[in-house]
Amino acid sequence: MALLTQAPKGTQDVLPRDSYKWQYVEGLAMEIARLYGFQEMRVPTFEHTELFNRSVGDTTDVVQKEMYTFLDKGNRSITLRPEGTAGMARAAVQNGLLNEALPLKVSYLVSCFRYEKPQAGRLREFHQFGAEVYGSDSPACDAEVIAMVGEIFDTLGVRDLRLELNSIGCPECRARYHKALKEYFAAHMDELCDTCRERLEKNPMRILDCKSPVCHKIAKDAPKVLDYICEGCSAHFEGVKARLDALGMPYVVNPTIVRGLDYYTKTVFEFVTDQIGAQGTVCGGGRYDGLLAEIGGPKLPGIGFAMGIERLLKVMDACGAEFPEQPACAIYIGSIGEAASVKAFALVNELREEGFWAECDTMGRGVKAQMKYADKLGCRLSCILGDNELESGRANVKNMRTGETHEVAFDDLIDFVYDAQVAVLTESIRETEINP
* 263 vs 257: CA distance, rounded Å: 14
Q: Which amino acid is at 229?
A: I
* 403 CB-contact burial (10 Å; exposed 0-12 / middle 13-18 / buried 19+): exposed
From the list 20, 91, 97, 122, which residue makes contact with ligand ATP (rule: CB under 6 A)? 122
Is 128 a residue that touches ligand ATP (CB under 6 A)? yes
**Shortest spacing between CB 114 and ligand ATP, in angstroms:** 5
Torsion angles phi and psi, residue 302, rounded to 5: -160, 165
**Nearer of residues 162 and 365 to ligand ATP, judged by Cβ:** 162
98 near ligand ATP (CB under 6 A): no
Asked if 297 and 98 touch (Cβ cutoff 8 Å), the reply is: yes
Residue (of 148, 103, 161, 130) closest to 261 by Cα position: 130
Closest CA to 167 of 231, 225, 118: 225
Contacts with ligand ATP, 208-247, as mask; x by CB under 6 A: ----------------------------------------
Sheet holding 265-272, edge to edge: 39-40, 104-113, 125-134, 302-308, 281-287, 265-272, 162-167, 252-253
d(CA 272, CA 23): 23
Q: Does residue 308 touch ligand ATP according to CB under 6 A?
A: yes
Residue from the set 205, 210, 215, 306 that interacts with ligand ATP by CB under 6 A: 306
> With respect to ligand ATP, which residue has the nearer C-beta, 285 or 334?
285
Q: Does 126 bind ligand ATP (CB under 6 A)?
A: yes
- Is there a binding annotation on residue 294? no
With beta carbons less than 8 A apart as the criterion, state whether 103 and 141 touch.
yes
Report whether 134 belongs to an annotated binding site.
no
CB–CB of 206/136 below 8 Å?
Answer: no
Under rule CB under 6 A, which residues in 311-350 are in contact with ligand ATP? 311
Q: How many residues does the chain have?
A: 436
- Please count the residues of this chain forming the interface with ligand ATP, following the rule CB under 6 A: 20
Binding mask 279-298 for ligand ATP (x = CB under 6 A): x-xxxx--------------
Least distance from C-beta 183 to ligand ATP, angstroms?
Answer: 26
Interacting stretch for ligand ATP, rule CB under 6 A, among 13-21, 304-312, 313-321, 331-339? Answer: 304-312
Q: Are 318 and 158 in contact (CB under 8 A)?
A: no
User: Is 338 annotated among the ligand-binding residues?
Assistant: no
128 is in an annotated binding site: yes
User: Least separation, in Å, of the C-beta of 259 and ligand ATP?
Assistant: 6
Backbone torsions φ then ψ of 172, nearest 5 degrees? -70, -45
The piece of 119-127, 217-225, 294-302, 391-399 that touches ligand ATP (CB under 6 A) is 119-127
Residue 394 contacts ligand ATP per CB under 6 A: no
Segment (H or E) for 171: helix 171-186
Secondary structure (3-state) at 419: helix
Is residue 164 at the binding interface for ligand ATP, with CB under 6 A as the rule? no
Of the candidates 317, 308, 262, 316, which has an alpha carbon nearest to the alpha carbon of residue 111? Answer: 308
Q: Among the candidate windows 99-107, 157-165, 166-174, 275-283, which touches ligand ATP by CB under 6 A?
A: 275-283
Please state the closest distance from residue 279 (CB atom) to ligand ATP, in A: 5
Please tell me whether residue 104 binds ligand ATP under the rule CB under 6 A. no
Question: Could you give the 3-state DSSP secondary structure of residue 405?
Answer: strand
Could you list the beta-strand ranges (E) of 83-145: 104-113, 125-134
Residue numbers in the known binding site for L-histidine are 83-85, 114, 128, 132, 259, 263-264
Residues binding ligand ATP (CB under 6 A): 83, 114, 116, 121-123, 126, 128, 260-261, 279, 281-284, 306-308, 310-311
Residue numbers in the known binding site are 83-85, 114, 128, 132, 259, 263-264
